[in-house]
């Protein structure tokens, strides 16, 4: 099924293969709290933190400090281009590119709208879209064009998440509120978003739509229509923090009040009382065998054929708070359960 990479908030990195968790980096190896995780096609694992980033390749870990303190070196996002260069978004230093072992910087002096980068996404033409606190930038062949609300950009100044759906639509979510689709000069709000106008916690691709988790509501956008799931559908929690759809088209939802499974014939709720390590669910992922992996504030859990397997300190988790789950297989590497490149 490929390797499952897990980071905890306190900086530990684990790899799960065939249901077994192996510590790769011990607690303290990463000198700051984890903010992002990425597995590139060349086999390297990248860990973003509040003070820089680390790179693990062939068993060797090297940490690169950024900035002189504060949030200058905070790493917010990773993305990889077709040739294999890794791009790093920061809060204070703009955009960095790792090219053949060297770092190159793109900031406001190079045309970036702001040096505070929130999200990254490549399109099919190879352009890099960069969300900043000042607008939506497009980097193409070394030239930067900024799209803000006054210049064909989304109707909010600070994009917080970017996504391509299965129909090829470009989805942009605001850092604090708002959700639109389209492109420069031709944006339109998804149905129901105007009325909600609340923070979006997660975006996830479904088999035939987009799952969007916000405050107390999960919504499916499919074929131009919106279907909302709330407490009336069995969900509980103030924040819909993670969403994933398995091969049986069952929807798994992580909130601050537990894990929920939505199916056409009913639903299910999992909490600490039913075997979940903790009720606060931060991340979700579905592996190639159909098992659902759940990151919580109390450890990691794996759901397969209605059985629950948990992972804690005895399995190598140095800290209970699982921050990110990412799969690396021969064909894909993607984040599930978080806004992409948030």
Show the 3-state SS of 8-59.
Answer: ECCCCEEEEECCEEEEEECCCCCCCCEEEEEECCCCCEEEEECCEEEEEECC
- β-bridge mates for residue 241, sequence order: none
Q: Quote the CA–CA distance of 265 and 54 in Å, as a whole number.
A: 45
Is pLDDT above 70 for 341? no
Is pLDDT above 90 for 265? no
pLDDT computed for residue 329 by the predictor: 43
Is pLDDT above 50 for 337? no
Band of residue 334 on the pLDDT scale cut at 50, 70, 90: very low
Token pair 């916690």 in the structure block, residue = 201
Parse the chain into domains and list their residue ranges.
Answer: 31-197
- β-bridge mates for residue 334, sequence order: 327
Q: Helix, strand, or coil here: 337?
A: coil
Band of residue 257 on the pLDDT scale cut at 50, 70, 90: very high
Band of residue 259 on the pLDDT scale cut at 50, 70, 90: very high
Q: Helix, strand, or coil here: 272?
A: helix
| pTM, entire model | 0.85
Domain 31-197 listed as CATH 3.40.50.300: no
Length of the chain: 342
Mean pLDDT of 172-180: 82
């Amino acid at each position: 099924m490929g390797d499952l990479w897990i980071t905890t908030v306190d900086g530990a990195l684990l790899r799960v293969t065939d249901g077994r968790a192996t510590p790769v980096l011990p607690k303290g190896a990463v000198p700051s709290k984890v903010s992002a995780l990425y597995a590139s096609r060349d086999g390297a694992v990248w860990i973003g933190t509040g003070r820089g980033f680390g790179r693990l390749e062939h068993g060797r870990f090297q940490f690169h400090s950024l900035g002189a303190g504060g949030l200058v070196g905070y790493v917010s996002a990773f993305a990889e281009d077709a040739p294999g260069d890794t791009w790093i978004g920061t809060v204070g230093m703009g955009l960095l590119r790792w090219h053949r072992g060297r770092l190159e910087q793109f900031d406001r002096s190079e045309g970036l709208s702001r040096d505070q980068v929130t999200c990254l996404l490549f399109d099919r033409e190879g352009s890099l879209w960069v969300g900043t606190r000042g607008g939506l930038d497009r980097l193409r062949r070394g030239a930067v064009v900024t799209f803000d609300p006054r210049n064909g950009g989304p109707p909010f100044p600070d994009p917080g998440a970017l996504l391509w759906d299965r129909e090829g639509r470009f989805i942009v979510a605001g850092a604090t509120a708002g959700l639109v689709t389209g492109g420069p000069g031709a944006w339109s709000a998804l149905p129901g978003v105007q009325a909600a106008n609340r923070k979006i916690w997660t975006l996830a691709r479904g088999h035939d739509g987009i799952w969007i988790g916000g405050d107390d509501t999960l919504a499916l956008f499919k074929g131009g229509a919106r279907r909302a799931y709330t407490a009336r559908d069995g969900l509980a929690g103030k924040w819909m923090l993670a969403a994933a759809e398995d091969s049986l088209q069952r929807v798994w939802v992580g909130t601050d009040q537990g894990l929920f499974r939505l199916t056409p014939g009913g639903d299910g709720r999992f909490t600490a009382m039913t075997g979940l390590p903790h009720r606060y669910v931060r991340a979700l992922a579905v592996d190639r065998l159909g098992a659902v992996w759940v990151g919580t504030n109390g450890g990691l859990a794996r759901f397969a054929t209605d059985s629950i397997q948990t992972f804690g300190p005895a399995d190598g988790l140095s800290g209970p708070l699982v921050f990110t789950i990412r799969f690396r297989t021969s064909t894909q590497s993607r984040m599930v359960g978080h806004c992409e490149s948030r």
